[in-house]
Amino acid sequence: MSATKSLKKEGNELAQANKQLEVLSNGIFANGELPTFAKKIRETGQFPLKAKKLEILQINVGYMCNQVCDHCHVDAGPDRKEIMTWETMEQCLEVIRNTGAHTLDLTGGAPEMNPNFRRFVKEASKAGIKDFIVRSNLTIIRANKKYYDLPDFFKEHNVHVISSMPHWTRGKTDKQRGDGVFDKSIKALQELNERGYGLPDSDLRLDLVYNPSGAFLPGDQASMEKDFKKALMEDFGIQFHNLFAITNLPIARFLDYLIASENYEDYMYQLVEAYNPMAVQNVMCTNTLSISWDGYLFDCDFNQMLELPVNGKSQHISEYNEDLLEGRNIVISQHCYGCTAGAGSSCQGTVA
Amino acid sequence: MADQYYDPKDLRKFGKITEWSEELGTKFFDYYGKVFEEGALTAREKSLIALAVAHTEQCPYCIDAYTKDGLQKGITKEEMMEAVHVGAAIKSGATLVHGVMMMNKVNKLDG
């Protein structure tokens, strides 16, 4: 049974970033049973982690979502009211027009629920950024009549659609993302395919994101992609381009789940044991910048949720300076192990 | 000494067996790693075989490890249970097929 309310709405103390950071710094990391992330990257000569040239600008346009997924690191849901204003969007557009980044990545919540989403996409698509991504949860397309034409809208603006799909079976998908999500997602994928999205030679990119439904790490990305492609084609005639396997980071609702199910320590052991210095070299915070709904800058979407702003003088979109941001020291904590385990993990899948 | 024979945390220490015999331990883990690589069988198929054998061997560590491994590979619980039944069928079949031995003996002694 998936959740129906955000942790914030429930009044759960893990909705507070400082409480999450406390959990991640205490216990097995405080008593030395496991090394802190800083200690670990120091051992492999990678401390401090520094930002390289910006490649990906990720903008979170709000935490409101039509779904309440069990693993959500944003703690998103219908009850979240944090939504980016048009004023902040205009500031973002100014940055988008001048950035050296080759990828623009819109996320949420469900970004489409921001009342200015379409206006923003129309303007942003004029900036000529090479890869323009919208992270769509798929079900939003079937949630209400006003969203039915989203596949056409995406196509019109040559948007690259990336969508979550935890499994090719109904049971596992609905368990994580809510009853009925699988059927709606399948319908939405078929509609995207009908517009040409995800077809082998199509320029209309459609990628799927897989993240595990429980307290375990994702398997090999290439094998998972093969299994997903086979099953979705055989069962529903669906095609897509790539599958990104993403590790669940121990924050927000997933952290709450780990603690409640008594899996927290085992999970952290798994992450630390799977630490891969090669993944550290390409970890996404080194080439990505995350902008929150209220315009603050973060090293990644996870740091945004933990309210850990970027180091340096340029901390808000109103004082954005790409030159000042390059070379900054990345803000780290134990959740960072999630991006360096095994083949690594980023919003674009594995990194090593 | 712990007051129980099996401790789930001991699984994390498996790699330490090399400390008391580095050469043999390392050879074992190299071999083990190689066996589970994608080959004529997929890594997914190997994981299901390992899960079935884990049950016939009744090894708690192996059941723990290969249940998790199966989940990581996207193997469903229905597939896992079928694999366990394959193990159980072979195990019970192996018992039962020895009944022929008993029948042979009875026929020889008292046929």
pLDDT tens readout for residues B38-80:
999 999 999 999 999 999 999 999 999 999 999 999 999 999 9
- Out of A169, A219, A220, the one facing B76 most closely (by C-beta) is A169
- Out of B12, B72, B76, the one facing A219 most closely (by C-beta) is B72
Distance in angstroms (rounded) separating the CA atoms of residues A277 and A272: 11
Residue A134 bridge partners (DSSP)? A106, A161
The torsion angles phi and psi of A135, rounded to 5 degrees, stand at -90, 105
pLDDT tens sequence across A268-311: 999 999 999 999 999 999 999 999 999 999 999 999 999 999 99
* CATH of A16-340 among 1.25.40, 3.20.20, 1.10.3470, 3.10.350: 3.20.20
Q: What is the pLDDT of residue A2?
A: 65
Distance in angstroms (rounded) separating the CA atoms of residues A58 and A209: 16
- Out of B42, B68, B74, the one facing A167 most closely (by C-beta) is B74
Q: What is the pLDDT of residue B37?
A: 93
Whether B71 and A214 lie within 8 Å, measured CB to CB: yes
pLDDT tens sequence across A128-169: 899 999 999 999 999 999 999 999 999 999 999 999 988 898
Residue of B nearest to A211 (CA): B72
- Residue A125 near residue A99, CB atoms below 8 Å: no
Q: Looking at the complex, report in whole angstroms how far the Cα of residue A217 sits from the nearest Cα belonging to chain B.
A: 6
Q: Which residues of chain A carry a pLDDT beneath 70? A: 1-2
> How many beta-carbon pairs below 8 A join chains A and B?
32
Using left for φ > 0, alpha for ψ between -120 and 50, and beta otherwise, residue A311 falls in beta
- Out of A214, A223, A269, the one facing B43 most closely (by C-beta) is A223
List the one residue out of A144, A145, A133, A130 whose CA is nearest residue A108: A133
- For the record, the structure tokens of A329 come out as 């020291």
Q: Where are the domains of chain A?
A: 16-340
Omega prior to A250 cis, within 30 of 0? no
Interface subset of A 253-292, CB within 8 angstroms of B:
269, 273
- For the record, the structure tokens of A341 come out as 């385990």
Supply the DSSP symbol for A297.
E
CB-based contact, A326 to chain B, within 8 Å: no
Q: What is the pLDDT of residue A178?
A: 86
Interface subset of B 41-100, CB within 8 angstroms of A:
42-44, 68, 71-74, 76
The position carrying tokens 């809510």 is A178
Q: Which CATH architecture has domain B31-110?
A: Up-down Bundle (1.20)
